[in-house]
Amino acid sequence: MKSIAVFCGSSEGYLETYMEQAYKLGGELAERGIEVVYGGAKVGLMGAVADGVLDNEGKITGVIPNFLQTKEVAHEGLTELIVVNTMHERKMKMYERCDGVIILPGGWGTMDEMFEMLTWGYLGMHQKPVGLLNINGYYDALKAMNSTMVQEGFLNEWARSILIFDADLESLLEKMENYNAPELPKVINKQATEARIKCPKKAYATIIATTTLTKSANNPHISAYFVFLIFTLPKYTANT
């Protein structure tokens, strides 16, 4: 991995270990020569990650919506700061510039970012490792919830393996380096990947997809993965 996107909270949390581990992560990635892309803020765990990278002479790019930049939360010492219009553009830009993703503790914004990356992986949009650094057992309940979703039939076992859990940073990075994306079910492979790329006769689907992605880029409330619903419509699958 040459670059990693880090999603984490803009708060510090009540325990010092959260900030300490975030700073350590930034330093470790810098020492390994891995470029970092993150949310661009100078506060909370995000700020700690950035400081860890910069203090160890690493490279880090921040991606921040303009409405947050105007609130003076943007980090001023970054290698590069990219200002976008919406929260969705922020996630897309970070996704485009990384080879893998690491999740640290955070709130709803971090959860949104994590589940978007997982959903894109589930739908075959990428094969990048998504690692979760489980500091102080913060994500134990999420791990249990994943098991519940599998047990109750709402999540496939293969899909659960997309999210890599570990409480140790070095171990997590090793797992991510050795990650092999699970083989997608044939229905997803055929409709969401092969048809999207290799079937010129279905140009109308490409047009719809482009329109949907354009709309979603201008509206943070429209998820890009909605476009994949198009490829499951009977009209589209009739000729596959």
pTM of this prediction exceeds 0.85: no
For the segment 168-193, the average pLDDT, to the nearest whole number, is 78
Q: What is the pLDDT of residue 186?
A: 59
Q: What is the pLDDT of residue 67?
A: 87
Q: Is 160 exposed, middle or buried (0-12, 13-18, 19+ CB in 10 A)?
A: middle
Whether 195 has a pLDDT exceeding 60, the answer reads no
At position 60, the amino acid (one-letter code) is I
Q: Where are the domains of the chain?
A: 3-177, 186-237
Residue that wins the pLDDT comparison between 16 and 217: 16
Q: What is the pLDDT of residue 183?
A: 78
Which is it for the CA torsion 138, 128, 222, 160, positive or negative?
negative
Q: How confident is the model at residue 29 (pLDDT cuts 50, 70, 90)?
A: very high
- Fold classification of 3-177 is Rossmann fold (3.40.50)
Q: CA–CA separation, 155 vs 52, rounded Å? A: 36
Whether 166 has a pLDDT exceeding 90, the answer reads yes
Which residue, 86, 129, 102, 111, is CA-closest to 36? 102
At position 64, the amino acid (one-letter code) is I
Q: What is the pLDDT of residue 205?
A: 43
Q: How confident is the model at residue 188 (pLDDT cuts 50, 70, 90)?
A: low
For the segment 132-141, the average pLDDT, to the nearest whole number, is 97
pLDDT per residue over 61-120, tens digit each? 999 999 887 776 899 999 999 999 999 999 999 999 999 999 999 999 999 999 999 998
Partners of 84 in beta bridges: 65
95, HSE (Cβ side, Cα atoms, 13 Å): 21
Report the percentage of the chain scoring pLDDT > 90: 65
Q: CA–CA separation, 111 vs 134, rounded Å? A: 14
Whether 208 has a pLDDT exceeding 70, the answer reads no
At position 88, the amino acid (one-letter code) is H
Q: DSSP letter string over 123-162? A: TTS----EEEE-GGGTTHHHHHHHHHHHHTTSS-HHHHTT
Pairing of strands 163-166, 35-38: unpaired
Distances in Å between the Cα of 132 and the Cα atoms of 8, 85, 223 are: 10, 27, 22
For the segment 193-202, the average pLDDT, to the nearest whole number, is 44
